[in-house]
Amino acid sequence: MKTFIASVLAAGLAASGLVAPAIAQTAPETELVSLEGKHVDTMLLRYSFDATWLVDSQHILLRDTYLDYYVVSLRAPCSWLDDQATYKSFFFFPELSGNLRAGRIYEVRNDGRKPCTISSVKHVPTAQAAELKTKVAQKG
């Protein structure tokens, strides 16, 4: 009887050891990168965004009301962003405003479409933003 109980306990511990890593995995967090290229824990976004450019199905360029630029990179290409109708109506969840926190998960969403996880938000210099806007204009 003791052997039976010991074997059941051993099997239970072995099974929990195999299942625990899958349960313990967390969703990927968003990285925040400052204008200097440093990874930061928080990033202050002032007021709101007044312009948006879709660079490709994995990168979105944003300009805030202070004329600072940010590149939002997605973990994987988001196919529905290529559709002009959905591109015009996407939104960020939670909203990209105020203090962003590196430990949170942010997504690009559109009603009726699968959310796309944001991998990073990078504050970029105006010159780099100009290059990306040119790329968008050439894409037409």
Which pLDDT score is estimated for 119?
96
The set of residues, in sequence order, having a beta carbon less than 8 Å from that of 56 and lying 6+ positions away, is 77
Which pLDDT score is estimated for 89?
80
Residue 7 falls inside a structural domain: no
Low-confidence ranges of the chain (pLDDT < 50): 18-25
Residue 14 falls inside a structural domain: no
Which pLDDT score is estimated for 20?
43
Report the alpha-carbon distance of residue 27 to residue 15 in Å, rounded: 23
Residue 20 falls inside a structural domain: no
Which pLDDT score is estimated for 2?
53
Which pLDDT score is estimated for 115?
94
In total, how many domains does the chain have? 1
* Alpha carbon distances (Å) from 85 to 82, 110, 111: 9, 10, 12
In contact, 81 and 91? CB cutoff 8 Å: no
Report the alpha-carbon distance of residue 101 to residue 26 in Å, rounded: 16
How many C-beta neighbours within 10 Å does residue 120 have? Answer: 19
Residue 90 falls inside a structural domain: yes
Which pLDDT score is estimated for 10?
55
Residue 134 falls inside a structural domain: yes
Residue 57 falls inside a structural domain: yes
- Give residue 80's identity as a one-letter amino acid code: W
Report the alpha-carbon distance of residue 136 to residue 140 in Å, rounded: 7
* pLDDT one-digit tens code per residue, 99-114: 899 989 999 998 888 9
Which pLDDT score is estimated for 14?
53
Containing structural domain, residue 33? 28-139
Which pLDDT score is estimated for 84?
63
